[in-house]
Structure 1
């Protein structure tokens, strides 16, 4: 148990400063100073501007776009912290990059989710905190403690406040059925599944809808929205099958290419995401609503420091409505 917050440091790297500030405000731990330096050839180094000797250090850094740079920042800072005699190093990585490569789908493919886990551990990380890992088995890639918290309760609390009628929760593919089933319990709602195939990466083709969506308010739930193609194709198919309106929710708004424009121009009523990934001003659109996970992560830090259980922090927000 850590009772002296003066022996705790919170750092923010370049991926998501606003989220780090939200965490800092809740935990009442000021952000410490670190300078990220890039050399002309692209190499990265960091300058720690205060002592961390004997401190319990938390670093906020999702490995979102550009994933390679943001991952390297974490590794370089971790090495600096370890060499500066930090007592422990916890990486708060709300979005765990490379998580979609969690197994070999065909011969001669890498398992980069495991590679990233190895890199973090070799660098000297003592604990990792994530939100909605793409695949739960990634937790088994680590030999250090890893906390994988759900984003669904925060998303569900938003929709429960809207008091929608005749809700049907929809999984955009077979792989997300477990996630959708849990989400449906918050509304005591039935479940539907979109049967789709992927001709190639980042492209989706809807084949069939399993379940009754006629006259329903559909909420599609996923962990990652990237190009938006899956959600848009799914929304079109649901409306064609008689759905009244379609909302979408996802924990991680990767939103590459022209995803935000495509979503804004689509039949989707609204897309709700969390701020695990910083949504830059130029990507903001009226149809995209972002909820902050920062206050929950701020509480989680305090529970970690005090050796208290954490899971109830993320579930009680729905129960309180």
Structure 2
């Protein structure tokens, strides 16, 4: 290819060499290093005047160094009078920070997009963004390629009995990605979700108004049993006679409140018989500190540190020396002002602000959670699909649920980007419910991890990236790259 210079950053040189090999060229020389104080040094070793420059830089374990190195390389090529500069970023750094998760949170992905534009980039090629709406952060063209065709082809060629498999999303945020792969393979799909179990003492962690009214009814019932009301009805000539059915009233509540019609009662007060056969495809389990436990499991100690005990003169919060007595008036005010939305939702209950990935809520959460599997997976292979594998908590929890609760035959954990933070790969290797871990080579994986892993499978997507570069250089349409399954 004439008029093209392809540079490689330090994040993933092996991928750059594979791309250049498919294009029949070699990476352009560039001296990348660091000064003694840790600053990044870049020196372009070839003329880029009036050339189409492509800089391949993915994420890495040293993510901040990779980002800064890319920005400096773009600026250096811009100063060298390059005709166009394209950043090829198979994994876009900070893609999970594409929205606010708290009132004072930062949209870091948008900031990085602005930095790329200021540095002088003209075009961005990436793959499987965490949120496709991130393309709106850029003022330049963005090609968000998909690894789904390569994953679907690998499944057809390497998984026996794949026609009977089920594609399952491990969280609610990945359902669109899962349904797309299921449509491509003409398979059924399911979903695994986790939610916090309602605590037994619903004062400082109340998340539903039903809990409050149940507690009030219990207190009224207890007070009525302790001090029963006496209703004395005085008859006189000025008042009409009282019917006999009203003389047997035990409390004023029965006189003032009519009986609730059956249609207005709560579902818990009625015996509902479910006749829909699809209800049998819903399986639930208990998740305690990221581990799937039996239904009869009882923790040794209560994990809730803020217990409450309503009393006649007030309520107490905490244990031991930190116990604080709250006046009754303040106690009632606290109950009435508690939000009816779950407390772990950011921005006062904005569901869109909550991270779709539930790693932190599964692995490092003190409360017990309920994990639910929707879909029939018994005696079938299961493909757990998401865009990346960073921590292992939610993957292991979902795999154990579909195997131990759903009765799945095999579990394949499939993702585009294999970040494998900390020791997550070793934890997934040790999980007996996971049979294979399938990722692409968009993110560099250390050779030592590849050697000791027996379940890890890597799919090469350099063909897609190389074809995208070729079409962009020659001014051809790239629409066909988004419809490889057709």
What TM-score bracket applies, with the shorter chain setting the length? over 0.9
1:236 is aligned to 2:400: yes
Residue aligned with 2:6, SS: strand
Listed as ranges, the matches of 1:100-115 within 5 Å are 100-115=96-111
The CA deviation at 1:200 is 3.1
1:57 is aligned to 2:24: no
Alignment match of 1:265 (pick from 419, 424, 430): 430
TM-score, normalized by length of structure 1? 0.94
Residue aligned with 1:200, SS: helix
**Alignment RMSD, CA only?**
1.6
The CA deviation at 1:136 is 0.6
Alignment match of 1:219 (pick from 375, 383, 393): 383
Q: Distance in 2 between matches of 1:212 and 1:224?
A: 25
1:24 is aligned to 2:45: no
Q: Distance in 2 between matches of 1:32 and 1:196?
A: 48
1:86 is aligned to 2:254: no
Conservation of the 8 A alpha-carbon contact between 2:359 and 2:394? no
Conservation of the 8 A alpha-carbon contact between 1:154 and 1:314? no
Evaluate the alpha carbon distance shift between residue 21 and residue 58 of structure 1 in structure 2; reply closer, same or farther with a 3 A threshold.
same
Q: Distance in 2 between matches of 1:192 and 1:72?
A: 40
Which segments of 5 or more consecutive residues in structure 1 lack a partner in the other structure? none
1:67 is aligned to 2:232: no
Alignment match of 1:182 (pick from 180, 183, 188): 180
1:36 is aligned to 2:204: no
1:281 is aligned to 2:441: no
Aligned to 2:417: 252
Which segments of 5 or more consecutive residues in structure 2 lack a partner in the other structure? 196-357
Evaluate the alpha carbon distance shift between residue 117 and residue 202 of structure 1 in structure 2; reply closer, same or farther with a 3 A threshold.
farther
1:127 is aligned to 2:123: yes
Conservation of the 8 A alpha-carbon contact between 2:126 and 2:144? yes
The CA deviation at 1:203 is 3.0
Aligned to 1:297: 465
1:160 is aligned to 2:156: yes
Conservation of the 8 A alpha-carbon contact between 1:89 and 1:127? yes
1:98 is aligned to 2:94: yes
Aligned to 1:47: 43
Alignment match of 1:203 (pick from 353, 358, 363): 363
Aligned to 2:342: none
Q: Which has the larger radius of gyration?
A: 2
Conservation of the 8 A alpha-carbon contact between 1:194 and 1:206? no
The CA deviation at 1:206 is 6.0
Evaluate the alpha carbon distance shift between residue 96 and residue 199 of structure 1 in structure 2; reply closer, same or farther with a 3 A threshold.
closer
Conservation of the 8 A alpha-carbon contact between 1:12 and 1:59? yes
The CA deviation at 1:313 is 3.2
The CA deviation at 1:36 is 0.8
For residues 211-245 of structure 1, give each alpha carbon's deviation from its aligned partner in whole angstroms, at most 9, with x where no partner exists. 11122210011101002222111100100211111
Q: Distance in 2 between matches of 1:20 and 1:200?
A: 33
Alignment match of 2:481 (pick from 291, 302, 313): 313
The CA deviation at 1:248 is 1.2
The CA deviation at 1:105 is 2.1
Q: Distance in 1 between matches of 2:96 and 2:411?
A: 26
Conservation of the 8 A alpha-carbon contact between 2:391 and 2:424? yes
Q: Distance in 2 between matches of 1:199 and 1:279?
A: 21
> How many residues in Structure 1 have an aligned counterpart in Structure 2?
314
